[in-house]
Amino acid sequence: MTQALARPPKTILEVWESLPEGTLCQLINNQLIMSPAPPNIHQVILNEINVEISLYLRKNKLGEVRIAPYDVHFSEQNILQPDLLFIENKNLDKVQKDGLYVAPDLIIEILSPSTAKLDYKEKKSVYEKFGVTEYFIVDPESKYVNSFFLRKGKYEEQKSIIGKINSKILGTNISF
């Protein structure tokens, strides 16, 4: 990603493309959004969920999981880094060396004080618009999970369970 610029960037996308590798920056609705590294509890919960899903996928071969930072290219105005995402086998051909070029089938965001508004509003709107089938928002302190399932292009809130992600796509409950 990082390269010497021959000329100043003309678009927000060009600015984003010029950032150093590993920069915690997302392009959401054509705006650069930078965040500090997440707090410890965020990382602990993310790791627990990732391990459970990865072990499940090792047995069931439904697709692959990725964790942040990992770029998902929804459009030239929307390149996001979900905390965790699942890609069904049928979409693995959309994985390129610099990220995913299709909406993931499932996304999980772990709340942080600096990102909660983004997760509930801007990111949720992008995920809904581009067709992410399942979207989960996890509060790491309470372990409360907000669950959304895409039906006819709109998110419907599902029953939420503390400490469990009930995924229709994966066909299982992930406990953490």
Tell the residue number behind the tokens 């051909």, with chain if given. 93
Structure tokens at 109: 């965001």
Single-letter code of the amino acid located at 56: Y
The superfamily CATH assigns to domain 36-175 is tt1808, chain A (3.90.1570.10)
Map out the domains of the chain as residue ranges.
36-175
d(CA 45, CA 110): 8
Tell the residue number behind the tokens 């996928």, with chain if given. 57
Work out the burial of residue 15: count CB atoms within 10 Å of its CB; fewer than 13 is exposed, 13-18 middle, 19 or more buried: middle
User: Could you tell me which residues come within 8 angstroms of residue 60 by beta carbon, excluding any fewer than 6 positions away?
Assistant: 170, 171
Q: Is the pLDDT of residue 1 over 50?
A: no
d(CA 72, CA 93): 14
Q: How many CB atoms lie within 10 A of CB 57?
A: 16
Q: Which of the residue ranges 27-31, 86-90, 114-118 has the most confident prediction, judged by mean pLDDT?
A: 86-90
Tell the residue number behind the tokens 């029953």, with chain if given. 159
Mean local confidence (pLDDT), 136-140: 97
Structure tokens at 48: 């627990």
pLDDT top residue among 99 and 36: 99
Structure tokens at 31: 């705006």
Average model confidence (pLDDT) for the chain? 93
